[in-house]
Amino acid sequence: MDAADVESDLVEVLFTEAQIQERLAGLAQQIEGDYPVTDGEPDLLIVGILRGAVMVMADMARAFSRHIEMDWMAVSSYGSGTKSSGVVRILKDLDTDISGRHVVIVDEIIDTGLTLSWLTSNLSSRNPASVEICTLLRKPEALTMPVDVKYVGWDIPNEFVVGYGLDYRERYRNLRDIGTLAPHVYS
């Protein structure tokens, strides 16, 4: 779906599909440089947070020039609204043992930081070699929990955004661009 298909629902397009692809390739290159392949070291494990990070994970994974492993978690703190509920729930846990592994959590957006702060703590308790965070978008003004994010695509204003995996009531995830949702849609 293109932004033109939902033009009346958007205030503005923040990032086009081309800009997103270019930034994800840069993030993959940065991560690859930080985790060189060495004998005896397990491959890098990137952990996507369902459902929003599906687009980010797929496109970023294709930008790597080496083998990586992927796994998924489903974690919720939203429900169906536009603001975090403050309660983190694991809906689907990892299938992979992360002991001794370098883990990069991949998410599409960091809003309050509650979910990622909790998730980093949870995964760190499983004895990985390291745990880092990669996010396509971060809202610094919305952060209520300290979160150490190593890889950030863009910092954005504290506005409700959709597209490229980001949704409002399960709509707009398949929008190729990322845009600010018009208040008349969710008011």
Edge to edge, the sheet with strand 45-50 lists 89-92, 69-76, 45-50, 102-110, 130-138, 151-155
Q: Which residues are catalytic?
A: 111
Pseudo-torsion of CA 123, 124, 129, 133, nearest 10°? 70
* SS3 labels along 165-183: CECECCECCCCCCEEEECH
DSSP state of 104: E
Q: Which residues contact 15 (CB under 8 A, 6 or more apart)?
A: 23, 154, 164, 177, 178
- Give the 3-state secondary structure of residue 67: coil
